[in-house]
Amino acid sequence: MSAKHFHFVTLFPEIIQAWMHTSILGRAAQKGIFESSVYQLRDFATDKYRSVDDVAYGGGGGMVLKVECLVAAIDFIKGKIAPEHPE
């Protein structure tokens, strides 16, 4: 049985990496039960400030993540999982 591979896209990769290397999760990874990759969402931002959030649509408080950054991250991961083959 092959190990499951989890891909995490986050603003806080250090926290995810700490979880993946300690405690029960760390022991499971060492045993080959699962693998993980962690991606910094800001790496997929397109502006010089690497901003990934925007004001909430319709007003109100809080911020929302930019769809463009998330789509770019997902497309990158999908390319790693199943690279496109020319026909």
Supply the pTM of this predicted model: 0.82
3-state SS, 26-85, equals HHHHHCCCEEEEEEEHHHHCCCCCCCCEEECCCCCCCEEECHHHHHHHHHHHHHHHCCCC
Domain containing 67 equals 4-81
Q: What is the pLDDT of residues 5-29, one digit of tens each?
A: 999 999 999 999 998 888 898 899 9
Angstrom distance (rounded) from CA 52 to CA 34: 29
Tally of domains in the chain:
1
Quick one: which of 12, 62, 74 has its CA closest to 82? 74
Q: What is the pLDDT of residues 41-82, one digit of tens each?
A: 999 999 999 999 988 888 888 889 999 999 999 999 999 887
Q: Which two tokens stand for residue 3?
A: 């190990």
Which long-range contacts (C-beta less than 8 Å, at least 24 apart) are formed by 50-58?
52/11
Structural domain contains residue 18: yes
The SS3 of residue 24 is helix
Structural domain contains residue 14: yes
Structural domain contains residue 87: no
Q: What is the CATH number of the domain that holds 64?
A: 3.40.1280.10
